[in-house]
Amino acid sequence: MVLLNNRYDILKELGSGGFAVTYQARDQMQPSKPFCVVKQLRSNQASDPRIVSFFEKEAATLEILGHHPQIPRLLAHFSENQAFYIVQEFIDGQDLSLELRPGIKQDEAYGLCLLQDVLPVLEFIHQNQVIHRDIKPDNLVRRQADGKVVLIDFGAVKQLASLQVNAGGQVTSTVVIGTSGYMPWEQSQRKPTPSSDLYALGMTVIQALTGLTPDQLDEDPKTLELEWQTYTQVSPALAHLLSKMVRHAPRDRYLTATDVLADVNHLVGVPSRVATVRVGRPVPDSFLEPEVAPPPVTRRNWLKWVGFGAAGLVSVPMLKSFLSPAPPAPGGRAQPPAPKANTNNSLSEFTFNIVQVNERGETISTSPGRAAYFTEDLGNGIGLDMVALPGGEFVMGSPPEELERGDSEGPQRTVTVPAFFMGRFAVTQAQYQAIMGKNPSAFSENGANRPVEEVSWHDAVAFCEKLSQQTGRTYRLPSEAEWEYACRAGTTTPFHFGPTITTDLANYDGNFTYGTGPKGVYRKQTTDVGSFPPNAVGLYDMHGNVWEWCADHWHSNYEGAPTNGTAWLSSDESTSRLMRGGSWDSYPRYCRSAFRNVLPPVYRYDLIGFRVVCAAARAL
């Protein structure tokens, strides 16, 4: 074990290049031993007092920048064995290079959201007389906790490792900081300005819209201006804005991030504002008043419902009353106009095995289960199975002692959920094709029975609306409370399988473990729905495979949340939306029943799908 400064336990190398190596580490001096990032900066003159003074100055700057919620906090800095070390907050997420894949074009809404997310950060650092100098997809990390883009890897840190004292006693740098294609010409001459960062951000957004990296784009030989607009379709206003960000001459570009942000906000209809730094997320102005929930169902009734009680399932005739069309949840879309009634109101029953594991992921019990459901006919032999779930109470969120939990998962509270139907599986590619007439999925080869992905929240809502029009029943996305209630199915452990998870039970990144569970396989793609055991109410793939959109707007915790199972909505429809369940590319802790993820509603990834619910006319 390598222990730096008698405190930081080095776990693995995250990356290296030039003069620096970056490691993931644990802070052994903190009670929770949190992750952190340690950057080792090698220097041949680390003992020179002038170099040390420069290091101290830059560290002080990083400390100030870390006050912005979208910049990693500086935790410590020190020198040891002829090397400088910077210790920063570990940002749990993925960099945008995983979103901006070659040949994949993002839409205009994506580009605007990215600009709105990053420009306020540039405002802040430029106001503090700092130029980043290396903005590119690899240095923009989408934080898992809230979907915000965090700016990492400042050029000043890289420069520290290349400093030397020249013959005149001056501290100088011998390297150009920046990445070819993203940095403008003046930066390559070691003369960066704030507009150099705007150029790099503009190139990143153009990459997102065209699916092409900067080296694949040509310049006009006469004007030296970038030729990019023929590779994508965006509004003239956005095209003008981006072209101005990436003008060859600095004097022709936007001068400040504030100017760019004002034009972006004008495009999307947001009032101009004075640049400020907000610590934490704003509390939404309001959320809609919830409806009154039905009386709770007891634990005994829940067990009877799923087939464990002596009385077995509730009678099918009683369940038929669930199938009448019902109004949408508060804040949902308007009910479709006069749809043709669907007369397929019969319910069937299916059986399955319920698996429970211990802390090591070993199966300790397998018991029979059964559930009632109906199949919605989508045409051409394609059906949509909807499983009946009883109303009841459950404790939502995770307890403080749950391993690797996040603050957004609390405080725990008791929530009452009315009865409803939920999709037995995530919506498949075949089902999406049947309703929407297209299949946007990245894993479309032999993918009819795989979950649809590359769908935004708006795409999922449009599917629900069209399905409702076709069937005469109201389909919608589940509320976050409904999703967790259905996932847990009466359990209180991190996963409905028990205290851990294995890749025999779900599709996630098996290179990583939860607790004392085992490592497994990393499939690097989705799997057919229903490939793994279901939970106690007969729902499949509630952990892993694809993230599932929920109806709710994002809130940073459950303070003030409804307790009747309805979606928690804010007055700002552009607010990010919730996702649950984890994906094929997720660490196991992200697949926990209580874990909450968030993204703007316009985003599409091959990690994200959805599952639908159908409202019940009345509870049992």
- Which residue, among 460, 436, 433, has the nearest Cα to 448 in the 3D structure? 433
**β-strands 547-553, 608-609: how paired?**
parallel
Beta strands in 471-568 (DSSP E): 475-476, 547-553
According to the 3-state scheme, what is the secondary structure of 132-162? CCCCCHHHEEEECCCCCEEECCCHHHHHHHC
Contacts with 276 (C-beta within 8 Å, 6 or more apart), sequence order: none
What's the rounded Cα separation, in Å, for the pair 227 and 213?
A: 13
Where does 462-546 show beta strands of DSSP type E? 475-476
| pLDDT per 10-residue tile (average), the chain, 620 residues | 86 76 90 89 62 75 91 91 87 90 88 94 92 93 88 67 50 66 88 93 96 92 90 90 94 92 81 32 26 34 36 34 37 33 66 96 95 95 96 96 90 96 98 97 94 95 96 96 97 97 96 93 96 97 97 92 94 85 92 91 90 67
φ, ψ dihedrals at 199, nearest 5°: -60, -50
- Residues marked as catalytic: 134
Query: For residue 90, what are its two tokens?
Result: 């570990």
**C-alpha–C-alpha distance, residues 223 and 191, integer Å:** 21
Model pLDDT, residue 595 = 94
Could you give the 3-state DSSP secondary structure of residue 75? strand
Closest CA to 96 of 74, 66, 118: 118
CA distance 142 to 600: 11
The two three-digit tokens of residue 350, written as one number: 């299916």
Specify the pLDDT at position 400. Answer: 92
Give domain 98-150+173-268's CATH superfamily. Transferase(Phosphotransferase) domain 1 (1.10.510.10)
Give the start-to-end residue ranges of the domains of the chain. 3-89, 98-150+173-268, 299-615
Domain 3-89, architecture per CATH: 2-Layer Sandwich (3.30)
How would CATH label the architecture of 299-615? Alpha-Beta Complex (3.90)
Q: Where are the alpha helices (DSSP H) in 333-479?
A: 429-436, 457-471
- As to burial, measured by CB atoms within 10 angstroms (0-12 exposed, 13-18 middle, 19+ buried), residue 345 is middle
Question: Considering the entire predicted model, what is its pTM?
Answer: 0.62
In this predicted structure, what is the pLDDT of residue 170? 53
Per DSSP (E only), the strands in 218-310 are: 218-219, 226-227
For residues 141 and 118, give the distance between their C-alpha atoms in angstroms, rounded to a whole number. 11
Q: Give CA–CA dist 167/576, Å, rounded.
A: 55
Tokens of 524: 């690097």
Output the pLDDT for position 420.
Answer: 96
